[in-house]
Every structure is written in C-alpha cells, then in structure tokens.
Amino acid sequence: MSDIAGELARVRGAFDRPTLRLLDRKWAPFVLAVFKSSFSRDRRSVQADRLHTQVDAYLADLRSIGSEIPGKNGRALCVQWMNDQWLYRETGEDDEEQYSLTSHALEALLLVDGLSRDRALISESRLTTIVDTVRHRATQANPDRDERIRRLDLEIAEKAAERDRLATGGEIAAASNDQMHEGYANLIDLITQLPSDFKRVEESVAGMHRQIVNDFRAEERPISEVLDEYLSKTDALMSSTAEGRAFEGAFVLLRNDALLAELKNDLESIMLHPFALQLSAADRRSFMGTVSLIRKGVDDVLTQRNGLTTTLREHIVNHDVVKDRELERLLREINKELAVWMQTAGPRSTVTAELMPGTLELEHLRERFYDPGAHKAPPPLEDVSAFAPEPPTLDAMRTQGGPLLAELRDAMVSAFTANGAASVGDAFNSLEPAMRRPVEILGLLQIATQVEAVDRTDAAAAADGAGTADIGTKNVETEDFETVRPDGSRRTFRVPRITLTDDDTAALAALNYGSDHD
C-alpha cells in the first residue's frame, strides 16, 4: 500500500500553518506588498495608528490605478492580519501600541523574495561550502581518536604547505567576480533567514510566558507546585523547545565579541572586492549590517527571556506578600479574641464555632436582588417580511429629492439659445413634466442668482419706481409657473419674472462644463 495518505496528511498540516495560509489567500500579493513596504530590517515595528494610516494610503494609491483591492479599511485589515498570526501587536517602551511581523509573515516574505530574485545555482562555491560543512561535522561525529588525529594532521599539512608557498613569494590567486557573486548569493540565502529564526525563538519564549502565568493565576494547584514548575521551566527555558535549543547552541558563538568583530572585518573585506561595485547601495548596506542584525536578534530574544523572568518573579512575590499579610492579620485577630475569652473561660471551657457567619450590621441593604427572569432573551420577533411594501426605486426616490441643478442649467441654456424662450417661466413651462416639480422652481431661482439675474431684476424694479428692491413685493412683475407633482397633480405658482441674457446662458453652460470635469 502506498504512503500517499500519510503524505497528504503531512501536506495538509503544512498548509494549515499561518505561513502557507498567507500565501494561499486571494489577497496574498497585496498583504505581502504592504508588509514589504511597511517593515524592513531597520524598521521592525511600526506604531499602530501609523500603520493603519499607511495601509489606507496604499489602498487609495492602488484604487487610483484600478487595481483590485480588499474592501476593508487599514485598521480592519491590520486586526484581521493580527488574528491570522501575521502581525503581532504589543506595547512599546513609550506605552504606545505597535505592530511587528510574526515569524510566519517573515517566512512568507523570505519565500517570495527567494522566488523573485535570481537564486544561486549549483556552483563551485556552493559545493565547497557543502563539502567543508560535511567534513567538519563528520570530524565532530567520529569518536575514533586516530581518525580525528589523521584528519587534523591532514588539515594542518595543507595549511602549512599553503603558508610556505605564500612565504616564498608564491602567486596569490584573486577570486573572480563570478566566484564572488556565487559566494555572495550563498551568504545572502543564509543571512535572510536569520530574522525569521530569531522571531520564532521570541514567540516560543512569549508562549511559555503566557502559559506559566495562566497556570499560576488559575490557582488550581498548590502554590508550591506551581513554583517548582516555574523554577524547572526557568532552568530549561531555552532547551524545552526546538527553537530554544537551536538558539542556545548558536548563542555560544553569538556572544563571542571577538568572533563578531572578526565577522565584521570579513564582511568589509568581501565588500572591498571589485564585484561589490555591481551591487546596489541597499544591498551593500544590508550585507554590512549582518553583525547588527545578529546582535539585535540576540538582544530581542534575551530581552523577551528577561521580561519573562522579571514578570513572573514580581507576580509571585506580590502574590505571596498579599497572602502572608492576610494570614497574619487573621491570626492576630484570633489571638486578640482568645485573650478576651480567656479572661472569663475556665480550664475545660469550649467554644462553639459557627459554620455560617453571623448577621452583619449594615446601614443599607440592597432592595433589588438578582432576578434570573431579567436576563432571559426576549421572545423572537414575528416575521412580517411577507407584508412589507415594495421598496421604492431609485427613480422614485429621486423624484422626492431636491432640484436637479445640472439638468435645469442644460434646459435653460437650450431654451434660451435654441428655442428662444422669453423668460425663465416660459422656459420652465415648456419642460418635460418630470422637470417641472415644484421644487425645481427653487433650483431655477438658485441658478438665476448664480448669474446675477435676480439682482438685475431687483435693479430694474427699483429703477421703475417700485420704491423697493425686494423681489418678494407685489411691485415686481410676475409670471405663472405650471408645476407637475410626482403623483401627476398640477399646481400653479406665481414667481417674479426673470430673463436671461446671452452672457447668462454662456455662464450657465460654463458652470455645467466645469462640474462635469471636476
């Protein structure tokens, strides 16, 4: 029988991990692009409100070029990504919430970066690295003393021969640009994996932190047992998980300052080779920051581990102090009562202890107590959706709205330029019934005000001796506006007579053109 079922279960388990869930989502390119643009090696965390604003800006930029984007805002997306274990939110040193990428998001970015750039193919540099690593590990794994001495003697002989050749003036073979590029590509593959490795260790320590604190606060076991477990986990803090054991082994090398200084000098030597001129400034800066990356990763893990120890120690100490003080106060009160009782009690006197406490003397008692009926859910509502009226259409709702200013301007321009309308009322009465609602009269007055036709009517009325410039008085010439309501009924309104000049119609046409091109 084939083992396809086992392989299928293993692959399904891999796809259930947050890393592959991120790559398998519809919006995976958008999410990874946001992570790549917002976070970097030098910017590991971003203030929460700032990231929300950045994501909103990214959405607006992509929307402007017609790209398909999620329908949520920046805050909602960040919360969703945090629930999917791609973002981690914590409180920083300035008591402000900030986001950082989880190890799963860093792994996804690493996979995408590896697929988007030219990968290092099989080469002399890569094979040499494999051979050297295998030889070194084989030497460490072989317990045979003679075999290990033989390997060391061989290595010493090779090194001594090369030193003697150089000491006698032998030629130094400089590495070519292609060889340096191959070695550089191999190093980059290893260096880019460091951030996600360090992040996994941090998350492992943080998970242990939460577990121990929850066990302690649950108080389901004796305090001594919880303390013993805490101390045992503290002793084996970095060896209880695979990530911790890997970090503990690497930490032996990483805490060697001389080794890190030598590593920095070696990196500088590599960048002094002519092939480095073909690299971008960002690539050179990133490569030279390897030591800082290692130090920062180690510091973050140690900070997380120290925070675990400090938090638990303070929690345990404070918890014990409170318990001790309560017990001490209770014993002191018992001794005081015993001293009072012994003043009158005999040698064989006994005291009856009440199983339930006595009545308390309180000045005020609650008059309303817990009523289970008050917390019952209300009865379900009756479904009357079948009797609901038909919802109004968009056209029906528009008929109940305000004036259609753009359509009225077009209609007035056409009426005065093409149809030779004598006045605004004359033009209005010639419109279609849908454009002759009563509210459209207010729109016509607003349009006339925009081109100062109403002011011109006021001035003409004043010049004729009306004695007032108020367009609402009986001295102004009026005309009838025949309106048609949406229900079909008609009504006549008397409105001051207003005329439009050629300049007015040109201005109205310009207004409509400007609004169409905003």
Whether residue 407 sits in one domain with residue 319: no
Kindly tell me the burial class for residue 301, based on how many C-beta atoms sit within 10 Å of its own C-beta (0-12, 13-18, 19 or more): buried
Whether residue 138 sits in one domain with residue 89: no
Tell me which residue range forms the domain holding 78: 4-114
Confirm whether 239 is domain-assigned: yes
List pLDDT tens digits, range 271-283: 888 888 888 887 7
Mean model confidence pLDDT for the chain: 77
Domain edge (last residue) among 322, 337, 352: 337
Instruction: Band the pLDDT of 127: cuts 50, 70, 90.
Output: low
Whether residue 244 sits in one domain with residue 187: no
- Entry field: residues in the chain: 518
Which pLDDT value is given to residue 482? Answer: 92
More confident residue, 223 or 295: 295
Whether residue 243 sits in one domain with residue 184: no
Confirm whether 182 is domain-assigned: yes
Whether residue 212 sits in one domain with residue 314: yes
Confirm whether 317 is domain-assigned: yes
More confident residue, 311 or 23: 23
Most confident of 74-78, 189-193, 304-308, 473-477: 74-78
Instruction: Name every residue whose Cβ is closer than 8 Å to that of residue 125 and which is 6 or more positions away in sequence.
Output: 179, 182, 183, 186
List pLDDT tens digits, range 438-460: 998 898 888 888 888 777 776 66
**How many domains does the chain divide into?**
4
More confident residue, 215 or 502: 502
Confirm whether 286 is domain-assigned: yes
Which pLDDT value is given to residue 293? Answer: 75
d(CA 255, CA 248): 11
Confirm whether 405 is domain-assigned: yes
Domain edge (last residue) among 63, 94, 114: 114
Please check the confidence at residue 15 and state whether its pLDDT lies above 80.
no
Which pLDDT value is given to residue 180? Answer: 78
Quickly tell me which residue has 């301007």 as its tokens: 409
Which pLDDT value is given to residue 1? Answer: 46
Whether residue 14 sits in one domain with residue 92: yes
Identify any residues that bridge with 47 across adjacent strands, giving them in sequence order: 98
Whether residue 315 sits in one domain with residue 417: no
Kindly tell me the burial class for residue 435, based on how many C-beta atoms sit within 10 Å of its own C-beta (0-12, 13-18, 19 or more): middle
Confirm whether 508 is domain-assigned: yes
Whether residue 329 sits in one domain with residue 205: yes
Which pLDDT value is given to residue 236? Answer: 63
Mean pLDDT lowest among 63-67, 210-214, 220-224: 220-224
Whether residue 322 sits in one domain with residue 438: no
More confident residue, 488 or 472: 488
3 state DSSP class of 287:
helix
Confirm whether 323 is domain-assigned: yes
List pLDDT tens digits, range 218-245: 666 665 676 677 667 655 656 665 556 6
Whether residue 140 sits in one domain with residue 32: no
Which pLDDT value is given to residue 274? Answer: 81
Confirm whether 367 is domain-assigned: no
Please check the confidence at residue 252 and state whether its pLDDT lies above 70.
no
Which pLDDT value is given to residue 105? Answer: 82
Whether residue 407 sits in one domain with residue 317: no
Whether residue 417 sits in one domain with residue 466: yes
Mean pLDDT lowest among 203-217, 254-268, 376-390: 203-217
Quickly tell me which residue has 């066990």 as its tokens: 215
Domain edge (last residue) among 284, 310, 337: 337
Structure token digits, residue 437 = 């609602």
